[in-house]
Amino acid sequence: MMVVIILAAMAFAIFEPIQVLPRMRLAPGFALTDQSGEPFSSEVARGTVTLYTFATTGCDEQCETVSDTMRDVQRRVEAEVDMGSSEFALVTVALDPTDSEALAVAAAEAGADGQTWRWVGSDDEAAIRRTVGTGFQRFFETADDGSIRYDPSFVLVDGNGVVRGDYRYSTLANDGEKLSRHVAILAEEIRNATGATAVAYEAAHLFLCYP
């Protein structure tokens, strides 16, 4: 095995290396409700490459920008990315305590179809804070006027529940092209990292061959 990895490393020095997304941390476990009133949990998302983002149901300018990016990513992935046997989903987590009716309104305004792209949330503020604040490690707070302050961001999670991309607006969070390209890199790894080729992908992780 070590010989194969060394040979793979030598190949990286000669040829264009395989690119992979880092395995950053485990995504949180959670249990929320979607815009149709159906349960949506981290277990439901298992086996699916999922791009998460966070917004309020009373969509403000930040939310509109996030939704624009989500629509762009959805369009690009559907048109340009070979997901193989894997599924791709987009999920917007509501930051304000809410019910399925409010989620449905927000989803309709954003263009979320309830299949590929869902809005999810809870009427339990503590559950939201556990999921978003503690789990996804996103800061948000309720101002004195009741509005919610937050930094727009995205989290890309693979089908094993591992965070593979963490995007803030200070970096590339608003760039649909880069986000969809990262989905493509992850999809390529999922398709190809089998048998002997899996060793090359593990070597790519070992040698930090990140985009």
pLDDT by 10s per residue, the chain, length 211: 556 555 555 555 445 578 999 999 999 999 999 999 999 999 999 999 999 999 999 887 778 889 999 999 999 999 999 999 999 999 999 999 999 999 999 999 999 999 999 999 999 999 999 999 999 999 999 888 888 999 889 999 999 999 999 998 655 445 899 999 999 999 999 999 988 888 889 988 999 999 9
d(CA 174, CA 7): 38
Q: What is the pTM of this model?
A: 0.91
Domain that holds residue 99: 22-196
Angle, in degrees to the nearest 10, between helices 197-206 and 176-192:
130
* Alpha helix positions (H), the chain: 2-14, 61-80, 100-110, 125-128, 176-192, 197-206
d(CA 143, CA 121): 20
Give a yes or no: residue 205 inside a domain.
Answer: no
Give a yes or no: residue 50 inside a domain.
Answer: yes
Give a yes or no: residue 46 inside a domain.
Answer: yes
Give a yes or no: residue 8 inside a domain.
Answer: no
Give a yes or no: residue 14 inside a domain.
Answer: no
How many domains are contained in the chain?
Answer: 1
Give a yes or no: residue 30 inside a domain.
Answer: yes
CATH number at residue 97: 3.40.30.10
Give a yes or no: residue 156 inside a domain.
Answer: yes
